[in-house]
Amino acid sequence: MRDAPQELIPVLAPGHIAEGLSPRAACLAATQRAEEVHGVPRGLLTAIALAESGLHAYALSIGGRPHFPETAAEARALLEAAPARRSLMAGCVQVNARVHARGSHWPLDPYVSADWAGGIMARWHRETGSWAEALRRWHGGSAASTHRLVCRVRAKLEVTSPGSDLFRDWRCPDGQAERVRRNGAIHLATAEHQSRP
């Protein structure tokens, strides 16, 4: 698979770019659009974005330290100033900017990064027949850290798509799930409120 997202992204129709939206509202609009375009189950990419960035278009993790700039310009400046040897995750769905972007700012565009994630998740689902396996590949970590991510995404999915049974077979701690659901509900409500004219 190519490092850049072009092969996975359909051309955006005019009016899809959410200029003037807050970082959370832009991320929400982008993930919902990508779910529809790529045939990803309703709420799944939004749940991933909630788990990865708190549904924030410009979120950065530099060497494991989170940053939540309010503008794309601030985020680009932080991205460019990040030390070369530090891990660097960027944007709405936390794209590995060192591996997939290689000096480009595209992960900070919520539409591009959400479409890239939607294309990859849809491809991995076609290859494996399992959304859980696609999510495991998305994470790419150890079995324990993947289990934690799936449980976080499952709890967020209960907020973004109540009644979804995508990850019903995963055993997740109930106490932690309630806290993760509450956190997801707060970020989702903020994004939805900020999306209104």
- pLDDT tens per residue, range 18-38: 567 899 999 999 999 999 999
- pLDDT tens per residue, range 159-191: 999 999 888 888 887 777 888 888 888 898 888
Cβ(60)–Cβ(90) under 8 Å? yes
- pLDDT tens per residue, range 91-115: 999 998 888 877 788 899 999 999 9
* 38-66 core/surface letters (b: 16 or more CB in 10 A; e: else): bebbebbbbbbbbbbbbbbbbbbbbeeee
pTM: 0.88
pLDDT higher than threshold 80 for residue 5: no
